[in-house]
Amino acid sequence: MFIRDIQAQDQAIYMQMSKDFYHSDATLFAMTDEQLQATLQKALQNSPFLRLVIIEEEQKTVGYGLLAFYWSNEAGGMVTQLEEFYVLPEYRGKQLGSQFLNWLIDSYSDQTARFRLEICSSNVGAKKLYEKYGFSTLDYIQMIKDMQ
């Protein structure tokens, strides 16, 4: 597995994969093309608040990961949040999730006080994988207020 930062030429495959992600049982909401494009543009501008990476296997794009970075008083430092993780269906079950988590932890442990992610309660397979890597459930109810 090879992980690299997204590039402009990845736009079409990223858009298709992210649409698939947001129309799956891994999420609660659908996203508009405008929202997905805004994320892509921020990533291409090297925003310090996010990183969008492409996952390749044998020189073929097979998935992506979206990371967000922010300070947390509760965590006592920086948080690296795995906002999105997607692997094409035909590449699932090939240990790419484990390889990606190893990369994530190895790449950011020295600058991260906490890793965080969200999963839908119905995503039992993902929950098992993340628990294997030491993630635990927070007893929080999350609330949101959309401004757009």
Q: Look at the pTM and tell me if it is higher than 0.85.
A: yes
Strands 77-87 and 114-117: parallel
pLDDT above 70 coverage of the chain, percent: 100
**30 pLDDT above the threshold of 90:** no
Domain 2-132: give its CATH architecture. Answer: 3-Layer(aba) Sandwich (3.40)
Tell me the average pLDDT across 30-37: 93
How confident is residue 145, by pLDDT bands cut at 50, 70 and 90? very high
Extents of the domains making up the chain: 2-132
Residue 148 has pLDDT above 80, yes or no: no
Q: State yes or no: pLDDT of 121 exceeds 90.
A: no
